[in-house]
Amino acid sequence: MSFVTGLRCRECGKDAPLAAVHVCEFCFGPLEVVYDYDAIAGVTSRARIENGPRSLWRYADLLPELPDAAPGDRVDLGAGLTPLVPAPRLGAALGLSDLWIKNDTVNPSYSFKDRVVTVALSAARSLGFEVAACASTGNLANSVAAHAAHAGMDAYLFIPRDLEETKVIASSVYGPNLVAVDGTYDDVNRLCGEVAGEFPWAFVNVNVRPYYAEGSKTIGFEIAEQLGWRLPDHVVAPMASGSMLVKIDKAFSELTKVGLVDEGQWRISGAQASGCAPISATLKGEGDVIRPVKPDTIAKSLAIGTPADGYYAIDAVQRTGGSMEDVTDAEVVEGIRLLASTEGVFAETAGGVTVATLRKLVAQGAVDPAGRTVAVISGIGLKTTDAISGMARPTFEIGAGLGDFEEALSNAGRGTTPLASA
């Protein structure tokens, strides 16, 4: 059952048909999927969702499955329904009494990008596409490659030529056509815009972007369901294009609109790396216009200097009473360490950005210490180990005898508490 009725321009409000288009032909504004919320409210229910698949597809009523979708169109590797875990130890370290972690590292290709890609490629198949494509430096390429392989679709992934070997492997293992471009990421992006105009391929973040972006709403849907169908007081999310944050806010609005949660107030705050903070710099008062920046940060998955959804992110944050901040690379590394050592979650640099920003916002009084706060951890630390290679040093280096260990403990001034005296 599909409740999608069309596309509509976010700027001028003109309607567009359900097709592979992402900008308004009248004003070049971004197109967004339109739903029949009254029809959804009449059908959906908490029980219907809880009895659905154990993946983000349990929220299909509020996702852009197309009216003429065939049963086999869904490209599903099991993305979503990731753990929402209480984080009392990180909360104590930051001064928050009710903190939760949304752990999106345990998605099929280990980042939240699987949410947008499963939705984008499912729509793409309903629209008749047989080839998946994207421009990417990391997580998105991994996810498109994985989902395309699972669906038996050809994939063309465009990457800058000087990409790290690990990131290349984490895409190429799935067998896509990997196109290494002699140029910067901006060059790759521009090329993909041209290729999308010439070839009948579904570029997930270009021509099918309206469907793609809707996938991020499922983070918000899951947070609410996992809190017992209650909205949190505050969500802190990382920002690259700004789209994820915007869609979490939209998710909470939709859940309220169709009656799945009671009316409530939430705040949403955004996190950036100081080396690429065009959105937070604008909100913090450096003028009204988002100025493009040349990224210089270890948080490469957030390094978008010209954020497509920046203004919408600023609107969502201001409207809900949230904040934005950005953090240095040193703070990012400390954020990764703090999250892992207090809660056992190993995040990539983007997760370090989120945790370090949350710490900064708490210190500024921008987060209610007693409120229910959720931090979105968007990707796995195993993809960005370069950023924390300084942690590759053992606590003790010893010989292989019991005496060697006891001596090392003693030298370190540790109580050894042998069993005999326990």
230 binds its own copies (CB under 8 A): no
Of 182 and 263, nearer to its own copies (C-beta) is: 182
Residues 147-166 that bind its own copies (CB under 8 A): 147-152, 159, 161, 165-166
Of 263 and 397, nearer to its own copies (C-beta) is: 397
Single residue of 137, 172, 256, 320 touching its own copies by CB under 8 A: 172
Of 101 and 281, nearer to its own copies (C-beta) is: 101
The one-letter code for the residue type at 105 is T
Residues 78-117 that bind its own copies (CB under 8 A): 78, 81, 83, 85, 89, 103, 106-110
The one-letter code for the residue type at 53 is P
Of 152 and 365, nearer to its own copies (C-beta) is: 152
Do 220 and 226 touch, CB atoms closer than 8 A?
Answer: no
Least separation in angstroms between CB 119 and its own copies: 15
270 three-state secondary structure: strand
Judging by DSSP bridges, how do beta strands 31-35 and 84-86 pair with one another? unpaired
How far is it, in rounded angstroms, from Cα 352 to Cα 340?
10
Single residue of 340, 366, 367, 374 touching its own copies by CB under 8 A: 340
Q: How many residues does the chain have?
A: 422
Single residue of 29, 183, 259, 369 touching its own copies by CB under 8 A: 183
Do 68 and 4 touch, CB atoms closer than 8 A?
Answer: no
How far is it, in rounded angstroms, from Cα 108 to Cα 214?
18
418 binds its own copies (CB under 8 A): yes
User: Hunting for tokens 């508490």 — which residue is that?
Assistant: 417
Backbone angles phi, psi at 152, to 5 degrees: 75, 25
Of 10 and 190, nearer to its own copies (C-beta) is: 190
How far is it, in rounded angstroms, from Cα 147 to Cα 248?
23
Do 246 and 309 touch, CB atoms closer than 8 A?
Answer: yes
41 binds its own copies (CB under 8 A): no
Of 79 and 261, nearer to its own copies (C-beta) is: 79
237 binds its own copies (CB under 8 A): no
71 binds its own copies (CB under 8 A): no
